[in-house]
A and B are shown apart, each in its own frame.
Chain A
């Protein structure tokens, strides 16, 4: 069996002298779908950036696809937190996906050169996989949030990564689209045997699809199977205030008393 996609042991990350995350341990196996949850500013994006090697560890050990963070980024598909294309953006989705494949290459792309057809075939294949073929040649600014998100996932997938880091891809989507995108990610996980780390706000739309959940709050993180982690005891311990988890009849979880960190724009990128 190959080594895990992500392995953190006692990882501590400091920003400007302040510990954002302290003593975090986390393991993501190949082909596993992991959701990272927690309030705004808790350090979810920080965790993703540390896995990418963009932020150094102050303490602890980290291996990403068997290498130190930052050394295996060519095998990681990354979808940063952001980003909607407004209606003035006159770019086709298919071109955006293609950029994920060879956008960092210098020189003039000459049609007919060896490899051109193969690249076009790969782009078509990945568009088919995410179900975006139908609208890939329209200007991306004219598409809905869910359609844009599918194209961005295709862009992150086009180089056949072994690990997919999706930072808030469900943000600004309606509930039905959130569930649809989560189902898509689950399917990709299984078909392509990709490990996925998905940062999200709300566990409910994705609860049925994930293998593992990691809760980030108050500078630390707790991971495990959703039913084990999302309990009154665990969350109360993690947040340091009384929290109650209720089970609705349709299987949804309702977390009561969860403190939302004060909302600052800067926090969202922390």
Chain B
């Protein structure tokens, strides 16, 4: 097993341990993938929290699970399943939001979609009797076996979505906090809403590949919520969300490397810890 061969535990010579992190190509790939994902999750997560769409984001992450499971069953790259299902899920969510029902009816519809997604995921898992990566890594994340080509796909998607978000940042901010006036000033509020859900879907699909489908929130919502808590300044808040996501990803990957627990656990615990700390300090 790969695990037994490389995991030597901490030597407590921190410099050596630090250097050891970059010795193996799979670990370098994981660090690069984690960095790309953290930047993207920080940016889109900040807007998601601002728009109060955490529930929609969570649903997209649940939809990522059947996407990956279906890809595993069909024998196509997992990334294809993640991106395909999350993209389609974003369109469905936009359609639900487009019906302009009350907030309660909307969240009920989103919740039903979420239940269906989970059920589908387990169907695909049981259909494919042996999934290469295993059920728990689909749900809780893995950083083993990330290839160069996967890193490249992550990079291309992340650069594209961050660029689009940056270009639309001001009108998106306007539409998110003050939609009536934004519409009167000629901002295409509905188009931005659809576009943002698609960006969110892509972010979830990317983040899922590191943290697993269930722990996407560790990177998408928690650093962003912490940043909103720390400052009401938009550009500073965005920067903070990215910095926090990067910090917990790097620390989580390093901790996971030296222990037997999955990376998703560390990333989640660290970001939750920071969030609680900030809440207590800024109370």
Chain A interface residues toward B at CB < 8 A: 52, 73, 78-80, 82-83, 89-92, 95-96, 99-100, 102-109, 138-139, 155-156
Contacts and interface: CB of A to CB of B under 8 A. Distances in A.
Given A83-B180, A95-B233, A99-B177, A104 B167 contact: no
A91 B180 contact: no
Given A90-B232, A92-B233, A103 B180 contact: no
Nearest to A73: B184
Contacts of A96: 177-178
Contact of B187 (A79, A80, A104): A104
B184 A80 contact: yes
Q: Top 6 nearest A-B pairs by Cβ distance?
A: A103-B174, A80-B180, A139-B232, A90-B232, A104-B185, A99-B174
Interface residues of B, number: 24
23 contacts: A78-B181, A79-B181, A80-B181, A82-B180, A89-B177, A90-B228, A90-B229, A90-B231, A91-B177, A91-B234, A95-B232, A99-B174, A99-B177, A99-B181, A100-B185, A103-B170, A103-B187, A104-B171, A104-B174, A106-B167, A108-B166, A108-B167, A156-B181
A12 B35 CA distance: 60
B178 to A, nearest CB: 6
Contacts, number: 68
Contacts of A139: 232
B180 A95 contact: no
A108 B235 CA distance: 11
Nearest to B187: A104
Interface of B: 166-171, 173-174, 177-178, 180-182, 184-187, 228-229, 231-234, 237
Given A91-B232, A108-B167, A103 B173 contact: yes
Contacts of A90: 228-229, 231-232, 237
Given A91-B232, A95-B234, A103 B184 contact: no
B182 to A, nearest CB: 6
Contacts of B234: 91, 95
Contacts of B187: 103-104
A105 B180 contact: no
Contacts of B167: 106-108
Nearest to B168: A106
A107 B166 CA distance: 7
Contact of A155 (B166, B169, B181, B232): B181
Nearest to A152: B181
A106 B170 contact: yes
B238 to A, nearest CB: 11
Contacts of B229: 90
Contact of B184 (A78, A83, A89): A78
Contacts of A102: 170
Contacts of B178: 96, 99, 103, 155
Contacts of B184: 52, 73, 78, 80
A89 B181 CA distance: 17
